[in-house]
Amino acid sequence: MSRWPLGLGAASGVGVGAAYWTFMSPYAQLLGPFPYRSRTGRPEVALTFDDGPNEPYTSQIADYLDGKGIRATFFQVGRAVRAHPDTTTRLARAGHVIGHHSDTHQFTRCLQRDSLGEELAAGLTTFAELDLHPALYRPPWLLRIPALFPLLREHGLQPVSGAFCHPLEVLQRSGRRIARGALTRSRPGAIVIFHDGFDGHPGNRAETVGAVKIVVETLERRGCRFTTVDDLLGIPAYNPAGRSRTPSDPVGAPNDDRLSSAATHIPADTGRTRAAP
């Protein structure tokens, strides 16, 4: 075999890796601030749940967390919220934070500015019908295109990353295995990503429910406490009703100094900033 095809293959491999890192890595900050943890120094972790509501699993997780007095952050998909509005309302009333995770969770709709803007607006409309006005947004697959960041500013949304609990969570093979992955990522200040749904569709998440219980009980024994993403990063969880902020807005806008601090992992000590849902 000649060296030329090998060279091409290596070059294309490097290109794919660089593209993945730039556009989909939980940790890359090249396109804009994308906080994935806080360097609080305190033993606290934010548990987050993407892709729901998805019953009965979302409520099983909520029942368990509520029984422990733990609040978490749920990044929900508009179409799943429309299927289970009572679940979203129940979570918010219990003090969990509701974040935005697109309206349909369709990959191709996250690739272009126009459809991405429609995803943001449609999701916000669905949340507003429940009197919820999220300020936190987690992109599906953590996919960021350059247009995402100005769109988020237009809609008063702050992007939030995190660490996936386990790369094989989607296969739902073993709660213990998922929990082991999550525990290795649960350092102080970590934002850990679980999935209570499947891209906004129904599906079995029983192993994730089991994993959450193992993670909580193990971390509690280690002296860890649990908090929500807004509290961990010192940023607002919600916007005032009836208002999408613009980049020129001075208070709590996504280019706020506090967000820059969060993105660069400077400890956030601004205390509670979360408005009532």
State the residues that interact with Zn ion by CB under 5 A.
50-51, 140
Q: φ and ψ at 136, to 5 degrees?
A: -110, 135
Pick the closer one to Zn ion by CB: 51 or 207: 51
Nearest to 41 by CA among 230, 224, 237: 224
In the bound complex, what is the minimum distance in angstroms from residue 81's beta carbon to Zn ion? 13
In the bound complex, what is the minimum distance in angstroms from residue 105's beta carbon to Zn ion? 6
Pick the closer one to Zn ion by CB: 40 or 126: 126
Pick the closer one to Zn ion by CB: 77 or 219: 77
In the bound complex, what is the minimum distance in angstroms from residue 170's beta carbon to Zn ion? 10
Pick the closer one to Zn ion by CB: 80 or 237: 80
Nearest to 132 by CA among 89, 169, 162, 188: 89
Nearest to 52 by CA among 226, 211, 194: 194
- Altogether, the residues listed in the chain come to a count of 277
In the bound complex, what is the minimum distance in angstroms from residue 95's beta carbon to Zn ion? 23
In the bound complex, what is the minimum distance in angstroms from residue 4's beta carbon to Zn ion? 40
Pick the closer one to Zn ion by CB: 50 or 103: 50
Pick the closer one to Zn ion by CB: 51 or 169: 51
In the bound complex, what is the minimum distance in angstroms from residue 141's beta carbon to Zn ion? 7
Tell me, rounded to whole angstroms, the distance of Cα 154 from its chain centroid.
Answer: 19
Q: Is 14 exposed, middle or buried (0-12, 13-18, 19+ CB in 10 A)?
A: exposed
Using CA atoms, how far apart are residues 85 and 96, in angstroms rounded to an integer? 15
Structure tokens at 228: 């929500």
Pick the closer one to Zn ion by CB: 50 or 256: 50
In the bound complex, what is the minimum distance in angstroms from residue 99's beta carbon to Zn ion? 11
Pick the closer one to Zn ion by CB: 110 or 253: 110
In the bound complex, what is the minimum distance in angstroms from residue 53's beta carbon to Zn ion? 13
Nearest to 198 by CA among 160, 221, 169, 227: 169
